[in-house]
Amino acid sequence: MASLSGLCSSFPSLKPNNRIGGELSPVRKDSLAVSTRSNSSFKHSVAREVSADLSKTNDVAGLKQAKQGGLEKDPKALWRRYVDWLYQHKELGLYLDVSRIGFSDEFVSEMEPRFQAAFKAMEELERGAIANPDEGRMVGHYWLRNAKLAPNPFLQVQIDKTLAAVCDFADAVISGKIKPPSPEGRFTQILSVGIGGSALGPQFVAEALAPDNPPLKIRFIDNTDPAGIDHQIAQLGPELASTLVIVISKSGGTPETRNGLLEVQKAFREAGLDFSKQGVAITQENSLLDNTARIEGWVARFPMFDWVGGRTSEMSAGVDIREMLVGASMMDEATRSTVLRKNPAALLALCWYWATDGIGSKDMVVLPYKDSLLLFSRYLQQLVMESLGKEFDLDGNRVNQGISVYGNKGSTDQHAYIQQLREGVHNFFVTFIEVLRDRPPGHDWELEPGVTCGDYLFGMLQGTRSALYANDRESITVTVQEVTPRSVGALIALYERAVGIYASLVNINAYHQPGVEAGKKAAGEVLALQKRVLAVLNEASHFSLPSSSLIQRLDDLQMQFSHFNAHCEDPAESLTLQEIADRCHAPDDIEMIYKIIEHMAANDRALIAEGDCGSPYSLKVFLGECNVDELYA
Amino acid sequence: MASLSGLCSSFPSLKPNNRIGGELSPVRKDSLAVSTRSNSSFKHSVAREVSADLSKTNDVAGLKQAKQGGLEKDPKALWRRYVDWLYQHKELGLYLDVSRIGFSDEFVSEMEPRFQAAFKAMEELERGAIANPDEGRMVGHYWLRNAKLAPNPFLQVQIDKTLAAVCDFADAVISGKIKPPSPEGRFTQILSVGIGGSALGPQFVAEALAPDNPPLKIRFIDNTDPAGIDHQIAQLGPELASTLVIVISKSGGTPETRNGLLEVQKAFREAGLDFSKQGVAITQENSLLDNTARIEGWVARFPMFDWVGGRTSEMSAGVDIREMLVGASMMDEATRSTVLRKNPAALLALCWYWATDGIGSKDMVVLPYKDSLLLFSRYLQQLVMESLGKEFDLDGNRVNQGISVYGNKGSTDQHAYIQQLREGVHNFFVTFIEVLRDRPPGHDWELEPGVTCGDYLFGMLQGTRSALYANDRESITVTVQEVTPRSVGALIALYERAVGIYASLVNINAYHQPGVEAGKKAAGEVLALQKRVLAVLNEASHFSLPSSSLIQRLDDLQMQFSHFNAHCEDPAESLTLQEIADRCHAPDDIEMIYKIIEHMAANDRALIAEGDCGSPYSLKVFLGECNVDELYA
């Protein structure tokens, strides 16, 4: 779920059979012939800081770099560097400036063969990805964004048909041809239920591209927090009757998404509404979700291709998904170039490698200077960290790769942490996202002679870039003319490809996420343990009688619990944590049992007979609700 | 602007005359007598990774730690560690678990004198901060949260009076006693204009504590992005007439805030509304903003005390600010303890020091498992990074301190980057924020036998914590019963104090932000240069005539510019970048001039005669609008 499912890549699901670039040995800094860097270990490089050592040598270039912290400071040389390296995509109106990353010509030469290998690996990936029997479904995100590239006419037709069906559905919803059973007769709201790529992509696109007054408003349930779900449903109020609920889960079995769906369905029932008349499923064919939707006869079902998020956005906000696909497709084309300087994705990967020593030694701070791109940094956080954060390389070496990504927006973040970026711990490089067009034509005005509101934003970006560079903090600047469906599609495609190329450079598989499973598995174990704890407490509540003094003490303790409203007809035996752990046959899990009890007690489902949660050893517990027999019958 | 002005501390403005702990030498890892860590240089520590070296020694404890990556893995020992170190604030229902940070008893002993010094420094700060002649205003955020602590009855009365005035004003707005001139007769919306602490604090509090249907809805203008401002105003639509605009700027001169105000005032004019009847200023007395508001007779003015953001929130959402202050005050009291184990702020500082080697060698990932706390991580990002990200220590040594902070919310972020946290680059520690109460009493139900939606959220948190720890990733867990005004106040106070103590430990001043000025200054220089460029282009447009071929070429180039609608009566001489730079007497600023031109061209304010922005050397430019004489007369 690493990427905007709205467009884009099969990153999470595309599991190539052939290891990409498996034949490549990882590029190591210390293998570079000429470098201002020391021999650094693979795991711990302090490359940038060793430049001082070079001042002891007679190497003039090294000396100069050492004096200047390795970065070019002469304005004229810097201007030449800027112009020499400036990448422009004319048609997209997109620029990439890498001049404020300090890579040397020697570094570029040294990396050249690695890039050629990465380009080759990417080409193989594009070809190999056309069929992915692993998942029993078709893969090929580049031709999904450009059906003409599809390998056969059947697929081409299928892609075009699906895209057309989505657009038709969206039009029909917006025009009122497809409508809810409620008297109003039109859908007014979208409630999108999904998590990960199934939420962040649509959220980002909706926020970046939605008009001020979209035909349908969109809300998101993107977590299994009950209070958060309640809040979203409460905000809909009576408009629940005219809400189109779109449930997105590639596997159809994501627990958070399933929970969100169950909660929403309950709200529909309680409001006397028929959910099936307002539900849409977007998922793989024949998944649990797909089957449920088919059997219950939901309004629509769409197969989980990769531009699904885009659908959601389109339906909600009139976003032109075809234009997004055009932008992505144009960028896909540009990033197929095998000339490093002419391939903006490769340039990004080069910068990342240089800045992080190829081992994630620095964080990537993403600062879009445009409110509507606030979520782009979170989107990149997901794309980059999930794709690159890997324990093993393709040869099975433990490498603990990754690049940490964070950021919100400029200039707002200047008031939050530019202080640290400029003067504090030097553990990052910055990516500025610049948008040249300030506001629609004809709306600009001057706040003071010759200066507009947008000039300030521009000045803050440029000023920050300069001030950081003056303190040897490196940065990349990506510039687009405007935030449009086309430029957003291009930005996404640019970063997807950069991640793919970088993964090749460091010899990892960017397309799986084994580490996510560990947390899910552990979560499942917690829930399983909770069931056992419940069973033990339930059993205890039926086989003994508490003393009356205990009842008295319970009354005394009531103040500790808000809404103490359970009352057992058959009062329970209270147990210590150790007793519960023993009866659960889980003596090693006593801490988790304690936490389960603490959580249940806070929600009136377990009652604390003695002691309190601050002193776990003293704790004695019994079950809050006694009528749970049916669950364990 | 480091902190929630809504409550809280004078962090940004509180500049103690006495350097706090100036007499302390910084605590250095390599000064610790017993440690699993190597002699690390101050700037680059690889402390955790050298544990393997210890396995060569005969030190049994060291050996054990080395084998286990330094972290205790035996379940029973871990449970003891959990219970031993568990901090509980009974009245607040707040717990702090530091057991998953691997500090040793020896480390704690070694740090003890440093903590005593930090406590003493904090006590002096509290006392010394009562008067801060630097800024010509009173300081003392602890008694601002508890007027009884104020040093004299006059101040006490003033604090109580101001708080009462704020509450009365909020009540009057909500009840409709104070109302807009519009026929509706009630304020329905708040538009809060501010940036940094003047935005993030209120945003966080509003999102955390606002009821589903607040009496007034709140929107924020927190940037100088014109499109972003337009979007907020457009969303208000006709409700602009019933919008209370609250302008917040401590200095009264923050450019982004000033620009936001000017834009909003323009929107009011264009809607035929009288801004002064709907504006509120929150700023220092006699600031430019304060004077403007007084002269124009705005609805209300409030002095910029530190709980100002809280006011905003209260007015918008019925948030009980008094309860927030109670929570903060209770936590202030708890964090005055000079017993490390009983002082939760000191425990946090201890963990940060251990985890980051006292030099920010690891990032702090903040994961609140509760949707409404999404912005808490951004709030902490601001508080921690702006306070701790400092170039020099109090003795003038260059230390480049700081801790990078990022995070959004769990379990959503598990789908974004838990992959990297668990398996990827080990450059972080996690802070989990746990909320025990899932949803209000009586609303819970079981999705499946014995399991609620909230149990999943709980399970995801616990599972992630376990899975990370199993891979030697350390974490802190802060637990609160519920998200209430009181607990939010307590959380803020907890982290403020932790930052203060940590700053003492590493011997830096947490209360200024000199680095922010550099960016602002650079931004000002960019705008000044832009004015010179405009003047040069303007002059050129009046003293020469272009050839007719140029006019023709311009027509050809029109396609490059959207909305090419300027027409010069007196056609201009086009200039190369070099010529402009020379005429500006700024030959070294040619790159910035290029960027200024690029930005102006994208906004139809400069016209490109030849070449394009992708080839800067080829570029020839003239001015888009000729009638700017009055500006430079």
pLDDT digits (tens, 9 = 90+) for B269-305: 999 999 999 999 998 888 999 999 999 999 999 887 5
Query: Of the spans A340-344, B518-522, B560-564, which averages the highest pLDDT?
Result: A340-344
Instruction: Return all residues near A380 (Cβ < 8 A) that are at least 6 apart.
Output: A364, A366, A405, A495
Which residues 49-68 in chain B show a CB within 8 A of chain A?
49
Which residues of B fall within a CB distance of 8 Å from A382? 415-417
pLDDT digits (tens, 9 = 90+) for A176-203: 999 999 876 899 999 999 998 788 888 9
Which residues 223-262 in chain A show a CB within 8 A of chain B?
223-231, 234-235, 237, 255-256, 259, 262
Please, which residues bridge with residue B575 across strands? B621
Beta strand pairing status for A279-283 and A300-303?
parallel
H or E segment to which residue B138 belongs: strand B137-138
- In order of A53, A130, A532, B338, B377, the CA distances from A62 in angstroms are 9, 48, 66, 51, 41
Span of A385-389, B284-288, B333-337 with lowest mean pLDDT: B284-288
Task: Tell me whether residues A226 and B457 touch, CB distance under 8 A.
Answer: yes
Greatest extent of chain A over all pairs of C-alpha atoms, in Å: 89
- Give the percent of chain A with pLDDT over 90: 58
For testing the chain A interface, which of B371, B471, B580 should be mutated: the one with the most A CBs within 10 Å? B371
Minimum Cα–Cα distance from A379: chain B residue: B416
Looking at A44, A76, A148, A415, which residue is catalytic? A415
Task: Tell me whether residues B76 and A588 touch, CB distance under 8 A.
Answer: yes
pLDDT recorded at residue B351: 98
Please tell me which of the candidates A391, A411, A459 has its beta carbon nearest to residue B223: A411
| Three-state SS at A313 | helix
The yes-or-no answer on residue A386 being catalytic is yes
Minimum Cα–Cα distance from A229: chain B residue: B371
What is the least distance, in Å, from the CA of A514 to any CA of chain B?
Answer: 7
- Residue A44, φ and ψ in degrees, nearest 5: -135, 100
Position with higher pLDDT, B627 vs A396: A396
The CA distance from A71 to A474, in Å, is 9
The CA distance from A297 to A310, in Å, is 23
pLDDT digits (tens, 9 = 90+) for A552-579: 444 444 434 333 333 444 556 899 999 9
Instruction: Return all residues near B408 (Cβ < 8 A) that are at least 6 apart.
Output: A378, B367, B374, B377, B416
Which residues 76-135 in chain A show a CB within 8 A of chain B?
76, 78-79, 82-83, 86, 88, 90, 95
User: Is the Cβ–Cβ distance between A116 and A23 less than 8 Å?
Assistant: no
Which residues of B fall within a CB distance of 8 Å from A520? 463
For chain A, state the CA radius of gyration: 28
Task: Answer yes or no: is pLDDT of B218 > 50.
Answer: yes
* Measured distance between the N- and C-terminal CA atoms of chain A, rounded to whole angstroms: 39
User: Is the Cβ–Cβ distance between B201 and B3 less than 8 Å?
Assistant: yes
pLDDT recorded at residue B571: 56
H or E segment to which residue B602 belongs: helix B590-602
Please tell me which of the candidates A195, A235, A436 has its beta carbon nearest to residue B602: A436
In whole numbers, what is the pLDDT of chain A averaged over residues? 81
A367 near B CB under 8 A: no
B336 near A CB under 8 A: no
The CA distance from A222 to A231, in Å, is 12
Which residues of B fall within a CB distance of 8 Å from A452? 226, 603
* Dihedral sign computed on CA atoms, order B332, B338, B340, B341: negative
Task: Answer yes or no: is pLDDT of B153 > 50.
Answer: yes
pLDDT confidence of A129, banded at 50, 70, 90? low
B557 near A CB under 8 A: no
B38 near A CB under 8 A: no
Rounded (10°) angle between helices B453-470 and A226-236 = 140
DSSP A572: P
Neighbours of B633 (CB within 10 A): 6
Which residues of B fall within a CB distance of 8 Å from A537? none
The CA distance from A623 to A145, in Å, is 56
Please tell me which of the candidates B222, B372, B616 has its beta carbon nearest to residue A412: B222
Span of A52-56, A116-120, B328-332, B421-425 with lowest mean pLDDT: A52-56
| Three-state SS at A193 | strand
Which residues of B fall within a CB distance of 8 Å from A612? 88, 90
Span of A294-308, A471-485, B225-239, B529-543 with lowest mean pLDDT: A294-308
Task: Tell me whether residues B463 and A520 touch, CB distance under 8 A.
Answer: yes
Q: What angle do CA A78, A81, A83 make, to 5 degrees?
A: 110
Minimum Cα–Cα distance from A597: chain B residue: B436
Cα-based torsion angle of the residue sequence B203, B209, B212, B216 in order, rounded to the nearest 10 degrees: -60
pLDDT digits (tens, 9 = 90+) for B74-109: 999 999 999 999 999 999 999 999 999 999 999 999
Please tell me which of the candidates A49, A79, A514 has its beta carbon nearest to residue B591: A79
Which residues of B fall within a CB distance of 8 Å from A617? 83
Which residues 559-588 in chain B show a CB within 8 A of chain A?
562-563, 565, 588
> Looking up tokens 């109003």, which residue turns up?
A184
The CA distance from B268 to A286, in Å, is 55
Task: Tell me whether residues B416 and A363 touch, CB distance under 8 A.
Answer: no
What is the least distance, in Å, from the CA of B154 to any CA of chain A?
Answer: 34
User: Is the Cβ–Cβ distance between B458 and B55 less than 8 Å?
Assistant: no
Domains and CATH numbers, chain B: 75-136+323-440+452-512 (3.40.50.10490), 179-298 (3.40.50.10490), 516-542+570-630 (1.10.10.10)
pLDDT recorded at residue B491: 96
The CA distance from B449 to B437, in Å, is 19
User: Is the Cβ–Cβ distance between B613 and B606 less than 8 Å?
Assistant: no
Position with higher pLDDT, B373 vs B629: B373
H or E segment to which residue A451 belongs: strand A451-452
pLDDT recorded at residue A208: 92
